[in-house]
C-alpha cells in the first residue's frame, strides 16, 4: 500500500485530473498556490490541506496609493564623488533605478541626511550643502579639492524587490508595480490587520496561511540598468524609516546616525563585524516584527487556520534563531532547500510544530525542457540534502513551480515518487529520536545562534568565489554525526565556552564577522578560549582564524594553533619549521587535499606544530597541542566528500576522540552511517550516484562489508 503524507504540491488551474494523479503517485497531502497562480476549485474539495500565499505589506496597491507617505523607506549612499574644485554637485540617483526608488523630500534632509568627506571621514556641516529636488542633486560648498564625498539620503522604495525581480525577469510589461508599505505607520498598521481579518473569512477553504512573508524585505537594490546592484539576504536596509529611527531613539536613549545604517556603503552586510548601534537596531526591529507578526498569527489562529512563514523575501526581523521568534507563535516555517546546510537551516528551527523544505529543482522551463533531464538535478539535490536529513529530518517536503511541467517528465514523476517514499521512510525509522552523536561542535562568529546555518551567505544559496571555501564547513557539518551549535564571540567573552562543547570552529577571511576582526583584541575572548583549550578543548581554525594585527601576532590564537600568517612584518624572522609529518591520523589515508581558495603565507610558529601538508613555502594543514587540548588549522575547506571526512577526523582529533572514530564508521568516504539507538536502527547511505563498496564498523568496532547501489539508503537493525 502506498505511503501517504508529509508532501506538498504546487498546483494550478485547469489541471485537476493530473494533479490528482500526482497527489497519488507522490503521496501528497497538501497543495499550495504560487505567486501568480490560483488554486483550481476542484482541488479544494479533495482530501488535502490547502496552503495559500499571503502578502502582508505588498500587493495592496489600492490601499497604499492613498497613503504614499507610508511607503517603505531605505537609506542609500550616493556614489563616491571626487571634488576637483571648491564646490561639488552629487547626483543622488546616479547608479540607482528610478522605477524602484525616489529620494524622500518629505522629511527634512538637513535632519535626516548626511554628507560625508570620505577622505577624512568627517561629516560636512549642513550649512555647507543644499538639496535640489528637481534634479535630485546635492550641492556642497567649501569642499576640499580632491577629497571624495558621499551623501547618505533617505529614499522611498516604490516597488517591492521580489515583485520587481519577477516583473523584470519575466517581462511583465506594464503590470502595476507592487508598492511595499511600512506597517509601523498608522494606516498600514491598521490596514494589515483589518485586511487579514477580512481575508481569513473570505478564504474558508484555506487551511494554512503561508505568509510570504511579513513586513520587511531583505535589502535588494537595483541599478540604473535595472540590474541587481546590491543584495544582502540578511540586510535590514528596507526596515528603515523616519518613524523607526524616532522610536529607536525614544527606546534606546540615543539617536542613530545615517552612517550607522549606511556603514561606508557596506550597509552592515553579514560579513561586517556588527557595531553596537547596528546590533541595537536589529534587535529593536526584531522585537517589533515579532510583536506585529504575532498579532497576525493570532488572527489566523482565531480563524482556525495554521500560520506558516516562508523563510525569505520579507523575512527580515523574523530570524527563526533569534530571541523573539518564539513569540510569533508560528505553526510552521517553509524554505527552499538545495543542499545539506539549507536543509538544516530549516529543519533545526525551534519553536514550531513542523518544518517544510521546498526542494529543487523548481518546476520551471530552465530545468524542465526537452534538452534536459530534471532527474539529474533532483537526484543530486536529494543526495546532498538527504545526509542532513539523517541528522535532523524536515517534517515535510514540497515542490514549487508549474506542476504541468513536471507532469510532462514521467521519469521525473517516478523518481520523485521514490524520493517522497524514502523521505517518509526516514521519518518512520527515526521517529523523533536523536541519532548517535560523537561530539558537539560550536561554530563561533560575531553572529552566534542568530545566523545558525547561515554563515558566509550573501544571497540565499548563491555561489561566490569568496565564500565557497568556508561554506563547505557548514555543508560538511550538516550531515556529520555531531551536534552543531552556533555561538557568538560576545557569549564566549561573557560565559566562556559552554561545558558540553568539545570543539569550536573559527573560520573566515580576516576582518569579517565570521573570522571576527577586532573581537580578537579582547582579552576575555582569547583568554577564555585559551583556557578552555588548555583544559582539553579542541579548536579548529580555517582560513584566517582569530586574525587581527595586534601585539606581534596576526592570528591572536597563534599560540593555540601553532601557525600564523606572514604579512611581511616578520620576514626577518627565519621560518625553520617546514617538515611534514606523514602517517598522522589526519593525513594517513589521504594527501591530495583541496583547500579551495586556500590561504597564503601560513607558517608554523614552533617545532611543536605538526605540519600535515606543506608546499610552496606554506602550511595548508597542521595540528598542535595546547595543554590538554588540541588544535587543527586548515587553509580552506570547500565541500566534497573527502573534505567532509577531513573535517570529521579533524573534529575527532581536536576533541581527543580519535579512538572513537572507528566505531560506527564507514571506510568509504562516499558513504555515511547514522545510528538511532533508541529505535535500534542504523542507516548506511551512499551519497554518490555510483555503486559503492564499504566496510561498516559497528559500535563494537566490528566490520561488516556492504555493497550499496547508487544513491542507496539501507536500514539495518543494530
In the complex with a copy of itself, the residue whose CB is nearer, 567 or 689, is 567
By CB under 8 A, the residues from 196 to 225 that bind a copy of itself are: 219, 223
- The number of beta carbons lying within 10 Å of the beta carbon of residue 144 is 15
DSSP summary character for residue 211: E
Whose Cβ is closer to a copy of itself: residue 371's or residue 572's? 572
Identify the residue among 68, 571, 689, 718 touching a copy of itself (CB under 8 A): 571
Is residue 461 at the binding interface for a copy of itself, with CB under 8 A as the rule? no
108 with 59: CB under 8 angstroms?
no
Q: Which stretch binds a copy of itself (CB under 8 A): 267-275, 289-297, 311-319, 360-368?
A: 267-275
Looking at the Cβ atoms of 105 and 146, the one nearer to a copy of itself is 146
Instruction: Considering only residues 580 through 609, tell me which ones interact with a copy of itself, judged by CB under 8 A.
Output: 597, 600-601
Tell me the closest approach of the beta carbon of residue 224 to a copy of itself, in angstroms: 11
126 touching a copy of itself, by CB under 8 A? no
CB of 269 to a copy of itself, least distance (A): 5
Return the active site residues: 313
Quote the cell numbers at residue 152: 547618505
Please, what is the Cα angle at 348 between 344 and 349, to 5 degrees?
125
Residue 259: helix, strand or coil by DSSP?
helix
Q: Per-residue contact track with a copy of itself, 507 to 536, x per CB under 8 A?
A: -xxxxx----------x--xxx-xx--x--
SS3 316: strand
Burial 508-541 (b: 16+ CB within 10 A, else e): bbbbbbbbbbebbebeebbebbbebbeeebbbbb
Under the binding rule (CB under 8 A), the answer on residue 150 touching a copy of itself is yes
Residue 644 interacts with a copy of itself (CB under 8 A)?
no
Contacts 24+ apart (CB under 8 A), 373-381: 373/409, 373/411, 373/412, 374/406, 374/409, 374/412, 375/409, 375/411, 375/412, 375/415, 378/412, 378/415, 378/416, 378/419, 379/415, 379/689, 379/711, 380/689, 381/337, 381/338, 381/339
665/671 Cα distance (integer angstroms):
10
239 alpha-carbon distance from chain centroid? 19
Interface with a copy of itself (CB under 8 A), residue from 169, 572, 582, 615: 572
Using the minimum distance from each CB to a copy of itself, give the nearer residue, 222 or 288: 222
What is the per-residue DSSP string for 664-712?
SEESSTTEEEEEETTTTEEEEEE-SSS-EEEEEE-TTS-EEEEEE-TT-
The region of 310-318, 426-434, 457-465, 682-690 touching a copy of itself under the rule CB under 8 A is: 457-465
d(CA 641, CA 83): 54
Which residue stretch of 260-268, 310-318, 338-346, 416-424 sits at the interface with a copy of itself (rule: CB under 8 A)? Answer: 260-268
Looking at the Cβ atoms of 52 and 451, the one nearer to a copy of itself is 451
The least CB distance from residue 75 to a copy of itself, in Å, is 14
Instruction: Map the footprint of a copy of itself across residues 313-352, applying CB under 8 A.
Output: none
Question: For the chain, first and last CA: distance in Å?
Answer: 27
Interaction mask 74-93, a copy of itself, x per CB under 8 A: ---x--x-x-x---------
- State which of residues 33, 40, 475, 559 lies at the interface with a copy of itself (CB under 8 A): 559
With binding defined as CB under 8 A, does residue 272 bind a copy of itself? yes
Does residue 688 interact with a copy of itself by CB under 8 A?
no
CB atoms within 10 A of CB 569: 10
Backbone angles phi, psi at 521, to 5 degrees: -90, 0
Pick from 41, 66, 108, 145 the residue near a copy of itself by CB under 8 A: 145
Grid look-up 549606511 returns: 262
Comparison of 29 and 144: residue with beta carbon closer to a copy of itself: 144
Does 627 participate in binding a copy of itself (rule CB under 8 A)? yes
Amino acid at each position: 500500500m502506498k505511503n501517504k503524507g508529509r508532501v506538498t504540491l504546487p498546483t494550478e488551474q485547469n489541471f485537476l485530473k493530473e494533479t490528482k494523479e500526482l497527489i497519488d503517485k507522490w503521496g501528497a497531502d497538501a497543495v499550495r498556490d504560487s505567486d501568480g497562480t490560483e488554486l483550481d476549485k476542484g482541488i479544494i474539495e479533495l482530501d488535502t490541506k490547502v496552503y495559500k500565499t499571503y502578502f502582508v505589506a505588498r500587493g495592496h496597491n489600492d490601499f497604499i496609493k492613498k497613503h504614499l507617505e507610508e511607503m517603505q523607506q531605505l537609506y542609500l549612499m550616493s556614489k563616491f564623488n571626487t571634488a576637483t574644485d571648491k564646490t561639488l554637485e552629487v547626483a543622488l540617483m546616479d547608479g540607482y533605478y528610478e522605477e524602484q526608488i525616489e529620494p524622500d523630500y518629505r522629511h527634512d534632509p538637513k535632519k535626516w541626511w548626511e554628507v560625508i568627506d570620505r577622505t577624512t571621514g568627517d561629516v560636512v556641516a549642513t550649512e555647507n550643502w543644499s538639496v535640489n529636488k528637481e534634479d535630485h542633486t546635492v550641492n556642497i560648498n567649501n569642499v576640499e579639492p580632491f577629497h571624495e564625498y558621499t551623501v547618505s539620503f533617505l529614499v522611498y522604495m516604490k516597488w517591492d524587490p521580489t515583485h520587481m525581480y519577477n516583473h523584470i525577469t519575466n517581462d511583465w510589461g506594464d503590470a502595476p508595480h507592487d508598492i511595499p508599505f511600512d506597517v509601523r505607520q498608522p494606516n498600514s498598521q491598521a490596514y494589515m490587520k483589518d485586511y487579514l481579518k477580512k481575508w481569513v473569512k473570505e478564504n474558508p477553504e484555506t487551511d494554512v496561511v503561508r505568509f510570504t512573508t511579513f513586513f520587511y524585505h531583505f535589502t535588494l537594490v537595483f541599478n540604473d540598468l535595472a540590474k541587481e546592484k546590491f543584495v544582502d539576504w540578511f540586510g535590514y536596509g528596507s526596515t528603515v524609516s523616519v518613524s523607526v529611527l524616532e522610536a529607536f531613539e525614544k527606546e534606546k536613549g540615543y539617536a542613530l546616525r545615517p552612517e550607522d545604517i549606511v556603514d561606508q556603503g557596506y550597509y552592515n552586510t553579514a560579513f561586517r563585524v556588527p557595531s553596537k548601534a547596528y546590533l541595537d537596531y536589529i534587535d529593536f526591529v526584531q522585537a517589533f516584527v515579532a510583536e506585529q507578526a504575532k498579532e497576525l498569527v493570532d488572527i489566523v489562529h482565531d480563524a482556525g487556520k495554521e500560520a506558516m512563514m516562508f523563510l525569505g523575501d520579507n523575512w527580515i526581523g523574523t530570524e527563526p534563531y533569534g530571541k523573539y521568534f518564539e513569540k510569533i507563535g508560528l505553526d510552521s516555517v517553509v524554505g527552499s532547500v538545495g543542499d545539506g546546510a539549507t536543509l538544516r537551516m530549516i529543519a533545526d528551527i525551534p519553536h514550531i510544530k513542523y518544518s517544510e523544505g521546498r526542494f529543487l529543482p523548481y518546476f520551471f522551463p530552465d530545468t524542465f525542457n526537452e534538452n534536459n533531464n530534471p532527474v539529474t538535478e533532483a537526484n543530486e539535490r536529494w543526495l546532498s540534502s538527504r545526509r542532513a536529513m539523517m541528522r535532523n529530518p524536515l517534517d515535510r517536503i514540497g515542490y514549487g513551480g508549474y506542476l504541468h511541467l513536471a507532469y510532462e517528465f514521467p521519469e521525473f514523476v517516478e523518481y520523485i515518487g521514490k524520493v517522497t517514499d524514502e523521505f517518509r521512510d526516514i521519518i518512520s525509522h527515526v521517529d523523533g529520536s536523536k541519532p548517535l552523536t560523537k561530539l558537539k561542535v560550536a561554530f563561533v562568529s560575531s553572529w552566534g545562534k542568530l545566523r545558525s546555518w547561515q554563515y558566509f551567505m550573501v544571497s540565499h544559496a548563491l555561489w561566490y568565489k569568496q565564500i565557497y571555501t568556508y561554506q563547505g564547513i557548514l555543508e560538511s557539518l550538516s550531515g556529520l554525526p555531531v551536534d552543531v551549535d552556533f555561538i557568538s564571540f560576545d557569549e564566549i567573552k561573557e560565559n566562556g565556552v559552554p561545558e558540553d562543547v568539545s570543539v569550536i570552529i573559527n573560520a573566515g577571511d580576516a576582518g569579517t564577522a565570521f573570522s571576527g576582526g577586532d573581537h580578537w583584541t579582547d582579552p576575555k575572548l582569547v583568554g577564555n578560549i585559551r583556557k578552555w583549550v588548555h583544559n582539553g578543548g579542541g579548536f579548529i581554525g580555517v582560513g584566517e582564524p582569530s586574525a587581527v594585527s595586534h601585539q606581534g601576532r596576526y592570528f591572536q590564537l597563534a599560540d593555540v594553533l601553532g601557525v600564523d600568517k606572514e604579512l611581511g612584518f616578520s620576514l626577518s624572522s627565519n621560518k625553520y619549521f617546514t617538515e611534514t609529518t606523514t602517517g598522522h591520523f589526519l593525513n594517513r589515508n589521504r594527501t591530495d587535499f583541496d583547500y579551495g581558495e586556500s590561504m597564503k603565507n601560513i607558517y608554523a610558529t614552533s617545532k611543536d606544530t605538526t605540519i600535515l601538508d606543506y608546499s610552496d613555502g606554506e602550511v595548508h594543514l597542521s595540528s598542535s597541542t595546547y595543554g590538554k587540548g588540541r588544535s587543527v588549522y586548515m587553509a580552506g575547506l570547500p565541500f566534497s566528500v573527502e573534505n567532509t571526512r577531513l573535517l570529521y577526523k579533524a573534529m575527532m582529533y581536536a576533541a581527543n576522540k580519535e579512538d572513537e572514530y572507528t566505531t560506527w564508521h564507514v571506510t568509504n568516504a562516499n558513504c555515511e552511517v547514522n545510528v538511532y539507538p533508541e529505535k535500534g536502527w542504523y542507516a548506511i547511505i551512499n551519497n554518490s550516484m555510483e555503486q559503492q563498496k564499504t566496510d561498516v564498523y559497528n559500535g563494537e568496532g566490528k566490520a561488516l562489508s556492504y555493497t550499496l547501489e547508487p544513491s542507496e539508503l539501507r536500514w539495518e537493525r543494530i
